Structure 1
Amino acid sequence: MDKTPQNYIEWQTLQQAYDKYEFGSLAIKLLAVILTFVGLITNMQLCLLLSVVAILWLQDGIWKTFQSRFEVRLLEIEKMSETNATSEPAFNTEWQKQRPGVFGLVKAYLCNSLKPTVMYPYIVLLAVIGLSYIFGAK
């Protein structure tokens, strides 16, 4: 990493934010697991339980979309460090220039929701819910 104070401070700040978003994503996944098992234990209606998991899945995708914005700038800073170039901190300005419209944002949210590391627990939870209701039906 380039030891230019400006680049290093920006990189460090963004890396910390990136890591916090990763923790937030894991918290959303844990909440989905907990709510799924509480829903199964309390015999929550199938549609309601599936909706809760789907909402948390999409929320996780939105969260990961926000995180990906930090990643773009982190990679730019790291690339600059290879050439010892410096830049003005421009995270918000650059993001605003590239910000997609409503449909672009929805597309980004859905694309991030379908990444394997995001969708993994939700697919399993949906399968557990489905199997529980199939085999637990009275």
Structure 2
Amino acid sequence: MNALHHEWLALQAQHERYEALALGVKLTAFAAIVVVADNTLALALLALLWLQEAVLKTFQSRLGERLLAVERGVKSGTEVAAMQLHSDWLASRPRGAGLAAEYLKSALRPTVALPYPLLMALVAMI
């Protein structure tokens, strides 16, 4: 097995781990509305968890981009330098507002955003 195959296996495992972590954040958000009695604190906690999940999903998407690059290289047989995840990301890393926009874009993805406004509305109604 060559280096790209090893890299793909490691990246895929981490990609799936981020999915599990995001699910854990969602479950924690649900538990927060049950456990936290103060509505203001519960809303703040939900907003923080929403942002945390957005950060996790942003990290996951970076892994996904590298996975796709590795897969293209393996499929086409073209030379792709192995183990360049961070170097490639650093070369295109957004700064300041661009980085914040990347996190916001992740926060607004339907698979991330769906439960949070609903949970916030539920807290507001209680």
Question: TM-score with structure 1 length normalisation?
Answer: 0.86
User: What's the secondary structure of 1:76's corresponding residue?
Assistant: helix
Out of 36, 44, 65, which is 1:72 matched to?
65
Q: Counterpart of 2:80?
A: 87
- Structure 1 runs (4+) deviating above 3 angstroms are none
User: Aligned partners of 2:25, 2:121: CA distance in 1, in Å?
Assistant: 18
Q: Counterpart of 1:6?
A: 3
Query: Aligned pair 1:126/2:120, yes or no?
Result: yes
User: Aligned partners of 2:12, 2:72: CA distance in 1, in Å?
Assistant: 15
Alpha-carbon distance, 1:82 to partner: 1.9
**AA aligned opposite 2:125:** L
**AA aligned opposite 1:91:** L
User: Aligned partners of 1:104, 1:59: CA distance in 2, in Å?
Assistant: 18
Out of 3, 23, 26, which is 2:23 matched to?
26
Out of 32, 47, 58, which is 2:51 matched to?
58
Alpha-carbon distance, 1:86 to partner: 3.1
**AA aligned opposite 2:29:** A
User: Aligned partners of 2:52, 2:96: CA distance in 1, in Å?
Assistant: 16
Which piece of structure 1 moves more, 64-73 or 80-89?
80-89
Unaligned runs of 5+ in 2: none
Could you tell me whether the CA contact under 8 Å between 1:61 and 1:112 is conserved in 2? yes
Could you tell me whether the CA contact under 8 Å between 1:7 and 1:86 is conserved in 2? no
**AA aligned opposite 2:3:** Q
Query: Aligned pair 1:109/2:106, yes or no?
Result: no
**AA aligned opposite 1:37:** V
Alpha-carbon distance, 1:75 to partner: 0.6
Could you tell me whether the CA contact under 8 Å between 1:6 and 1:86 is conserved in 2? no
Could you tell me whether the CA contact under 8 Å between 1:11 and 1:77 is conserved in 2? yes
How many percent of aligned residue pairs carry the same amino acid? 34
User: Aligned partners of 2:34, 2:94: CA distance in 1, in Å?
Assistant: 37
**AA aligned opposite 1:80:** G
Root-mean-square deviation (CA, aligned residues, Å) is: 1.2
